Amino acid sequence: MSAISLQGVSKRFGETEVLHGIDLEIPAGEVVCVIGPSGSGKSTLLRCIAFLEEPTAGLISVYGEPLGFAPGPDGTRQRLPRARIHAVRSHVGMVFQQFNLWPHMTALGNVSEALKTVRRLPAKEAAARAMAQLDKVGLAHHAEHYPSQLSGGQQQRPAAAPGRTAGGVPQAAPSSPRSVPRHISRPRRRHVALRRASDGPHNS
């Protein structure tokens, strides 16, 4: 079973089709790097996988569970109940390209907040798991520092850590490879190339 499966995923913004019929299977434990020029839909694809954007067409599943939509009895795509969408989304972590750290929270608070809010973990357990992840990315000694007290490189680490605290579930990483801390181990990787619709036919 694939960790993430995309079948015919398309996304339109008005008259502009950013994603067109994307088919992708990602086995568990595999790192997939999405590459392509600016405007080719890399971030939109990641946001669809995290269901921060709703695909215009197609289906997405996470470990076999449909995310957002599923085929109906008549073969058309039907939206799933909100509770079911939230349940599947809770297993997907996303690292934002601009870090998006809460300025009023420490590094530890930024990492533990998702565990408390999404996973409903007790504050003590969330803090312990968050500290363990900060230690893995080399920032445990700055756990009580606020984003304004961290360098740009240091801010990358608590931004990446929330996805890692989810316990081995799929993660949507930032589109800039420089935003991935070197401290994080990288399993076998695969590259997926995207192109702008205006670039014409392309074979890779």
Which range is least confidently modeled, 44-53, 112-121, 149-158? 149-158
Short-list 135, 170, 166, CA closest to 31: 170
pLDDT of amino acid 131: 93
The whole-angstrom separation of Cα 134 and Cα 94 is 16
Residue 129: what are its φ and ψ, rounded to 5°?
Answer: -70, -40
Residue 146 reports pLDDT greater than 50: yes
What is the rounded distance in angstroms from the CA atom of residue 167 to the CA atom of residue 91? Answer: 9
Rounded average pLDDT over 62-87: 93
Q: What percent of the chain has pLDDT over 90?
A: 43
Average pLDDT, the chain: 81
- Helix (H) or strand (E) holding 93, with range, is strand 93-94
Quote the Cα angle for 195-35-151, to 5°: 135
Question: 126 or 39: which carries more pLDDT confidence?
Answer: 126
Q: Report helix, strand or coil for 10.
A: strand
The model's confidence at residue 75, banded by pLDDT at 50, 70 and 90, is confident
49 vs 94: CA distance, rounded Å: 9
d(CA 65, CA 98): 29
CA pair distance 8, 57, nearest whole angstrom: 7
pLDDT (mean) for 118-130: 91
pLDDT digits (tens, 9 = 90+) for 162-190: 555 555 445 555 444 444 443 334 445 56
Of 90-104, 109-123, 156-170, the range with the lowest mean pLDDT is: 156-170
Q: What is the per-residue pLDDT across 54-68, written as a single tens digit (0 to 9) for each?
A: 999 999 999 999 999
**According to the model, what pLDDT value does residue 190 have?**
62
Query: HSE of 179 in the Cβ direction (CA atoms, 13 Å)?
Result: 17
What's the confidence (pLDDT) of residue 170?
A: 53
Residue 149 scores a pLDDT above 70: yes
Residue 127, classed as helix, strand or coil, is helix
Closest Cα to residue 67, out of 174, 43, 79, 21?
79
d(Cα 45, Cα 54) in Å, to the nearest integer? Answer: 10
Instruction: Return the higher-pLDDT residue of 41 and 179.
Output: 41
Tens digits of residue pLDDT in 96-106: 666 678 899 99
Give the model's pLDDT for residue 183. 38
Dist. CA 45–CA 18, nearest whole Å: 9
Q: Give CA–CA dist 31/124, Å, rounded.
A: 31
Does residue 203 or residue 154 have the better pLDDT? 154
